Amino acid sequence: MAQKLVVGNWKLNGSLAANDALLGGCVALVGVDMAVCVPFPYLAQVGSCLTGMALGAQTVSEFQSGAYTGEVSAEMLAEVGCRYVIVGHSERRTLFGENNVTVGRKTVAALRAGLVPIVCVGESLAEREAGQVMEVIGRQLDAVRECIGVQGLSRTVIAYEPVWAIGTGRAASADEAQEVHAGIRRWLAEHGAPAEEIRILYGGSVKADNAEALFAMPDVDGGLIGGASLVARDFMAICQAAMANGGG
Ligand code: PGA
């Protein structure tokens, strides 16, 4: 893998003033790819002041245009400068009724518009305790593969986000993350995808003090960062850790 990718997921946070202050403390680093996925209304503001960092959104409609009140299409996101879009985040799956089928369709929409979908997968605590981690993730990946094929998979980024680690302060250990990332890479290879070229990010309570250990793992190609991406100093420290472990 050339260099790592660190993506901030701002979730439902921000204001014009707060975004300015946050971005004022962030600088693009050489040797790591950086991106921020921001709420729709702030795409223009954030896009206009990013230099050396990519812009992304946090979800996308499966539809291209028409009578779908409240939806935002992938083409619209591309037109306003997005490179990435997160699809299938566990908060969208559990709070907003998304499932493997809709996630597949959204991934199709993103690719159609030339966006890079960041496809989120991950197990709940109950599923982990039942020993079903790769079974659950395999189903999530399969639903996407059925929609976009192996060719499509090669144009995605996968984010492994164990549900029990998101926003809880309890990140997966570096070894736990590595084990699942290796499993995902194996799954990709077994299904004929160019597994070594597909980035697999880890997300779930990544902080400045655990980023280094996570990014040192051979199959962890970067991170999807929630809470810590809202504090410039923390986000930059995480990006520095990714830079120091680039080429993993
Ligand atoms: P967190 O969120 O870093 O706040 O745990 C990660 C995510 O939901 O993408």
Whether the per-residue pLDDT at 177 is higher than 50: the answer is: yes
Distance 67 CA to ligand 1 centre (A): 32
CATH of the domain at 211: 3.20.20.70
Helix residue ranges, H only, 69-207: 74-79, 90-95, 100-112, 125-129, 133-153, 174-190
Q: How far apart are CA 35 and CA 53, in angstroms?
A: 5
Digit-coded pLDDT (tens) for 182-240: 999 999 999 999 999 999 999 999 999 999 999 999 999 999 999 999 999 999 999 99
Distance 192 CA to ligand 1 centre (A): 30
Active site residue 161: yes
Of all atoms in ligand 1, which is nearest to the CA of residue 171? 5
Nearest CA to ligand 1 atom 7: 226
| Pocket lined around ligand 1, Cβ cut-off 6 Å | 9, 161, 166-167, 203-206, 224-228
Q: Please count the structural domains in the chain.
A: 1
Q: Given this model, what pLDDT does residue 247 score?
A: 60
Digit-coded pLDDT (tens) for 25-55: 999 999 999 999 999 999 999 999 999 999 9
Nearest CA to ligand 1 atom 1: 226
Active site residue 191: no
Q: Which of 240, 243, 248, 238 is nearest to 8 (CA)?
A: 238
State mean pLDDT over 91-99: 97
Whether the per-residue pLDDT at 248 is higher than 60: the answer is: no
Q: Given this model, what pLDDT does residue 1 score?
A: 61
Q: How far apart are CA 142 and CA 165, in angstroms?
A: 23
Q: Domain range for residue 82?
A: 5-244
pLDDT band, very low/low/confident/very high, at 59 (cuts 50, 70, 90): very high
pTM, full prediction: 0.97
Q: Are 98 and 92 in contact (CB under 8 A)?
A: yes
